[in-house]
């Protein structure tokens, strides 16, 4: 892998003894790139403080998978410059990393990126795969192997900002960066805001029933009190603390707005520039920097959300990659609002569910049984102990049904879900206990990475938010679309602890379809996020007042920037003659000739 200074290292004022050991660069939102020699993170602003002039520091890391073609290649990568150096003191490691990156860039001596392919990972919120553990390089059966044996010399695997090692976004990192936002999360914070020292009952946000009682949340028989559920309600109880939380919330929302596709593609451009020999005025007969010939990537492969990023590339970058390959990721936003997108998606989700149950008809009964086990039915006077997952979250029926996220994926996704469902119970015969197996609970945790990759939850719907095509807030579009299909069901603000609605409700209501007398299958959800994910304890790392407030503020944000431009995409793919009736395009990205070709494979 390589970082390299790409001509920017001269401006880097970081300490040579910094012990960052990664490869890549760092930048500030809106600031020019400052590269270290190999860095893992050069300084992104004059001072590295979160409140410093350039804004919070964001590091971007990447790896390069390169085809070894000659004996000289092999000698270089096995030399002491690139290989391990026994005896080197740890304090010298960062310096050695930067030296290796400089050596790699100098030896590659790339004057263009025609032989370089960029890979953009799906998500949002997930890092790039690591060769060879997460990315096969076999010539047959592997896209990467096919690319490296079919004319491309290098593949750039970039951890998109906020993922992997690129300043990862987790609840833990957000707590460190925006501590004020989480001031109301603990018992002490709730007491301070309520102005009471005695025990009280805590009513969780968006939960129909009252939560645990007592000082530490366990036991106790105190008088219930209503605790504020929104920041404006906290202001009446403790204005000073509420103001502190509000400032932290505003900073966090502003920060996370820098983690969308528009920033990701700019990072990818800077990674490319770091790998190329710096251009000088006069190269190719040019007379000024603005006249320097473009050096786009030879190709980009965008998987799922990565395909959305490719559309942003075509929309916002003057010279996008020469070939754009999209697999399952075409943003349906040019003529549809986020709610309309999900209205259509729910129909597709239903189709995929029915296809799954056609493939595994025995799972119809088994899924109903699992859902009933996870529901609390008031009419049956049955007390059901909440199922706590190894991660600390609660396995509710609604969380279980989120396993349908994978039904739109590869052909093996059906088999994987079937195997998981088959491991649910210790005893195959249904009884009063219906004990779930620990291996099943562990597998649920592993299959649902929202705790460790919260960008998917926090920013997922924002991939449909565009200042031109859908300028309003997303406002939990998937949730609202589902509610429109369940108009006779209880509000989705209620949790599983409700009396089932009357049988006239929609087939999308699992509390109805899970009943043995209902002939319809219980439908899994699709690739969607919901407000209850941070409100009901389903996901331990998404819970708490801070994460709830942050998720709600992002869902309510109505001033997102541009991600897509139909006119610019047409110009890039067809040339200037293809831009007539540009569909609201925001202007040319430059030039008038066709700049790239595109191909797409949709697997839904």
Q: Tell me if 63 sits within 8 A of 128, measured CB to CB.
A: yes
pLDDT of residue 82: 74
Beta carbons of 189 and 183 less than 8 angstroms apart: yes
- 346 within 8 A of 508, measured Cβ to Cβ: yes
Burial environment of residue 57 by CB neighbours within 10 A (0 to 12, 13 to 18, 19 or more): buried
Question: CA-CA distance, 395 to 440, in Å (whole number)?
Answer: 11
Residue spans of the domains in the chain: they are 1-61+69-109, 110-167+261-282+293-331+563-604, 171-256, 338-556
Q: How do the residues of the chain divide into helix, strand and coil, expressed in percent and rounded to 5?
A: 40, 10, 55
Out of 48-52, 136-140, 286-290, 404-408, give the one with best mean pLDDT. Answer: 404-408
User: For residue 190, what pLDDT is reported?
Assistant: 55
Tally of CB atoms within 10 A around 131: 17
Q: What percent of the chain clears pLDDT 90, i.e. is strictly above it?
A: 50
Cβ–Cβ < 8 Å for 56, 255 = yes
Kind of pairing between the strands at 58-66 and 323-327: unpaired
CA count, 13 A, side-chain hemisphere, 503: 6
pLDDT of residue 505: 53
pTM score, two decimals? Answer: 0.81
Q: In the predicted model, is pLDDT for residue 226 greater than 70?
A: no
Mean pLDDT value of segment 252-262: 96
Most confident region among 206-215, 534-543, 549-558 by mean pLDDT: 549-558
pLDDT reading at 283 higher than 70: no
Give SS3 for 65.
strand
> Per residue in 510-540, pLDDT tens?
999 999 999 999 999 999 999 999 987 899 9
pLDDT of residue 378: 36
Show the beta-strand stretches assigned E in 89-223: 116-120, 154-158
When comparing pLDDT for 144 and 586, which is higher? 144
Q: Please, which residues bridge with residue 536 across strands?
A: none
Distance CA 283, CA 2 (A): 25
- pLDDT tens figures, 54-67: 567 899 999 999 88
Buried b or exposed e, range 433-446, using 16+ CB within 10 angstroms: ebebeeebbebbbe
Residue the block writes with tokens 């599983």: 496
Residue 250 has which token pair?
């505003």
pLDDT tens digits, residue range 468-502? 988 889 999 999 999 988 875 544 444 554 445 44
What would the pLDDT profile of 159-189 be if each residue is shown by its tens digit? Answer: 999 999 999 999 999 999 999 999 888 754 5
Higher pLDDT, 355 or 220: 355
pLDDT tens by residue, 110-121? 999 999 999 999
Please determine, for residue 191, whether its predicted confidence score (pLDDT) is greater than 70.
no
Q: How far is CA 357 from CA 111, 490, 520, in A?
A: 54, 27, 11
Per DSSP, helices labelled H in 276-329 are: 305-316
Comparing C-alpha atoms, which of 473, 477, 465, 460 is closest to residue 562?
465
pLDDT given for residue 332 in this prediction = 85
Percent of all residues in the chain with a pLDDT value above 70, rounded to a whole number? 72
CB within 8 A of 592, min separation 6: which ones?
571, 575, 576
pLDDT per residue over 71-109, tens digit each?
988 888 888 777 665 655 555 567 777 888 888 999 999
Please list the residues that pair with 388 across neighbouring strands: 394
Average pLDDT, the chain: 78
Q: How much is the pLDDT for 41?
A: 36
* Cα-trace Rg, the chain: 26
């Amino acid at each position: 892998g390589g970082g390299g200074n790409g001509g920017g290292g001269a401006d880097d004022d970081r300490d040579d003894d910094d012990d960052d050991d990664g490869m890549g660069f760092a930048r500030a939102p809106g600031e020019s790139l400052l590269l270290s020699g190999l860095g893992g993170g050069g300084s992104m602003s004059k001072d590295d403080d979160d409140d410093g002039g350039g804004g919070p520091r964001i590091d971007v890391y990447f790896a390069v998978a390169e085809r070894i073609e000659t004996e000289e290649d092999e000698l270089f990568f096995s030399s002491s410059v690139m290989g391990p150096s026994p005896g080197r003191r740890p304090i010298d490691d960062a310096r050695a990393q930067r030296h290796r990156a400089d050596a790699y860039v100098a030896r590659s001596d790339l004057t263009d990126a025609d032989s370089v392919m960029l890979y953009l990972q799906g998500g949002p919120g997930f890092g790039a795969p690591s060769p060879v553990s997460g990315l096969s390089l076999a010539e047959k059966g592997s896209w990467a192997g096919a690319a490296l044996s079919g004319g491309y010399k290098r593949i750039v695997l970039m951890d998109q900002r906020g993922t992997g090692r690129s300043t990862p976004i987790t609840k833990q990192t957000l707590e460190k960066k925006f501590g004020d936002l989480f001031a109301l999360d603990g018992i002490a914070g709730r007491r301070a805001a309520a102005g009471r020292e005695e025990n009280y009952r805590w009513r969780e946000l968006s939960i129909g029933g009252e939560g645990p009682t007592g000082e530490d949340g366990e036991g106790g028989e105190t008088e219930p009190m209503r605790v504020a559920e929104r920041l404006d309600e906290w202001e009446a109880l403790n204005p000073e603390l509420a103001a502190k939380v509000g400032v932290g919330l505003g900073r966090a929302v502003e920060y996370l707005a820098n983690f969308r596709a528009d920033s990701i593609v700019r990072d990818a451009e800077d990674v490319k520039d770091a790998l190329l020999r710096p251009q000088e005025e006069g190269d190719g007969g040019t007379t000024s920097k603005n006249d320097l010939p473009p050096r786009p990537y030879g190709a980009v492969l965008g998987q799922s959300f990565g395909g959305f990023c490719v559309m942003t590339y075509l929309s916002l970058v003057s010279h996008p990659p020469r070939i754009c390959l999209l697999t399952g990721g075409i943003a349906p936003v040019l003529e549809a609002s986020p709610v309309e997108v999900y209205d259509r998606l729910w129909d597709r989700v239903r189709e995929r569910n029915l296809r799954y149950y056609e493939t595994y008809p025995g799972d119809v009964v088994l899924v109903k049984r699992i859902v009933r086990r996870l529901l609390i039915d008031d009419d049956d006077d049955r007390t059901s102990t909440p199922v706590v997952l190894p991660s600390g979250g609660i396995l509710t029926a609604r969380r279980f049904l989120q396993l349908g996220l994978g039904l739109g994926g590869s052909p093996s996704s059906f088999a994987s879900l079937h195997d998981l469902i088959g491991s649910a119970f210790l005893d195959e015969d249904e009884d009063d206990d219906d004990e779930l197996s620990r291996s099943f609970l562990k597998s649920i945790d592993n299959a649902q990475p929202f705790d460790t990759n919260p960008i998917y939850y926090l920013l997922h719907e924002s991939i449909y938010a565009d200042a031109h095509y859908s300028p309003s807030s997303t406002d939990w579009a998937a949730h609202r679309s589902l509610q429109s299909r369940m108009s006779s069901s209880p509000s989705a603000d209620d949790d599983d602890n409700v009396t089932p609605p009357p049988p006239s409700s929609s087939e999308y209501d699992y509390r109805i379809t899970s009943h043995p007398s209902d002939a319809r299958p219980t439908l899994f959800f699709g690739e969607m996020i919901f407000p209850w994910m941070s409100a009901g304890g389903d996901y331990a790392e998404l819970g708490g007042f801070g994460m709830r407030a942050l998720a709600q503020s992002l869902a309510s944000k109505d001033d997102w920037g541009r991600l897509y431009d139909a006119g610019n995409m047409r110009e890039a793919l067809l040339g200037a003659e293809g831009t007539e009736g540009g569909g609201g395009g925001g202007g040319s990205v430059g030039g008038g000739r066709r700049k790239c070709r595109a191909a797409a494979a949709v697997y839904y």
